[in-house]
Amino acid sequence: MKVIVIGAGIIGVLTALRLAQAGAQVTIIEAGQPAAAASGASFGWINASFHVDSDHFNLRLAGMEAHRRLSSELASDAVRWPGCLCWEEEGEAFDAQHQALTDLGYRLRIIDRAAFSELEPSVAAPERALHFMDEGVVDLGQLAAHALRAGAELGLRLTTGVRATGFEVQAGALRGVRLPGGVMAADRCVIAAGVATQGLLEEVGVALPMLDRPGLILRSEPLPSLLRHVLVSPGQEVRQLPQGGLLAPTAAGHQADATDNVRETPDKLADQARARVAKLLNRPLRWEEVTLAARPVPQDGLPVMGACGPDGLYVSTMHSGATLGPLAAELVATEVLERGLTNTQSALVAPYRPQRFTG
């Protein structure tokens, strides 16, 4: 079976790897470079503590488990599991967050100021915080590179700098993908094109409205080892990279950020985030780089996975790919190859079909 995957972000690359491992002839078509768009500007936090409802929680928890499987399989060090300290909410909202996650069976504990200071001695300690012991971080660029290397050994092919413009459809079935030089034949196609997904699906009459969700991530100059966990404070998320730089979104409450356009220049937003992080650490700080990316967020904020349009066409798009990428790859590849999902897998993906936008 010939399969084309449109998009070499983390969703597309991991899906292509799973397809190649199952014996498909796979080609990735990427308009830019691998993991150079949203995947290249990700905060990279792997978690299920941020969720919309119980279905979303279950999906994200399964995503964490899929990350562990993939890391072991690839022998990749792109993923680490430092845990997270969160005191974004206060008072009754803090208690409600703790109770909701406890009711869902999430592994966490409440720590006091003294325990916090033992875990993060460089940080101004709050009165109390939630400790999510099992949460992780991922370098999506590194993970994508490891997956592409593994896929190449199985015959996976990557085409970069080429933009898919549409689809060849005959008698209601996909026959190929249109490129500037002609049509590349395919039996199946997976659209994992991030913010370009909506336009590509419009070519075949499928509605999948996407939100405008630009996001900026700053990286500081290399620093001595300061942070051991992902930190989620009331005004800022931050973590430290293995190379020493601090990574921080410029938006407070990045996970739930609903900003639809960038209202100030990137340097000003980076300066504001730098000041928040500096206050948190009680030390001067200099940022070196700020990166803007358009996050792929469907209209209702939830993932989209499944078949749509002509026979043979599939879609996989979501935020956050950092948490869900390995799981989405397993689910979508299984369906593309018509191997049949397990009951557990079917229950996980059922709320996230593209048909919810078309009634």
243-261: pLDDT as tens digits: 999 999 998 555 555 566 7
User: Domain map of the chain by residue range?
Assistant: 2-43+141-210+299-357, 84-133+214-294
Q: What is the rounded distance in angstroms from the CA atom of residue 247 to the CA atom of residue 277?
A: 10
What is the average pLDDT across 120-147?
A: 97
Q: How confident is the model at residue 358 (pLDDT cuts 50, 70, 90)?
A: confident
- Predicted pLDDT of residue 190: 98
Instruction: Name the one residue in this structure whose structure tokens are 């659209």.
Output: 191
| Each residue's pLDDT tens digit, 138-176 | 999 999 999 999 999 999 999 999 999 999 999 999 999
What type of residue sits at position 95?
Answer: D
Q: How many CB atoms lie within 10 A of CB 99?
A: 10
Whether the predicted pLDDT of 23 surpasses 70: yes
Stretch 51-69: mean pLDDT: 98
* Per-residue pLDDT reduced to its tens digit, 306-321: 999 999 999 999 998 9
Query: Please, are residues 40 and 296 in contact by the beta-carbon 8 Å criterion?
Result: no
- Determine how many CB atoms are found less than 10 A away from the CB of residue 59: 27
Report pLDDT for 253. Answer: 54
The CATH architecture annotation of domain 2-43+141-210+299-357 reads 3-Layer(bba) Sandwich (3.50)
User: Quick one: CATH architecture of 84-133+214-294?
Assistant: 2-Layer Sandwich (3.30)
What burial class does residue 316 get, using C-beta atoms within 10 Å of its C-beta: 0-12 exposed, 13-18 middle, 19+ buried? buried
What pLDDT score does 258 carry? 59
* CA–CA distance, 10 with 8 (Å, rounded to integer): 6
How many CB atoms within 10 Å of residue 307?
A: 18
What is the value of pTM for the model shown? 0.96
Share of the chain above pLDDT 90, in %: 93
**Residue 58 confidence (pLDDT) above 60:** yes
Q: Are strands 128-132 and 84-86 parallel, antiparallel or unpaired?
A: antiparallel
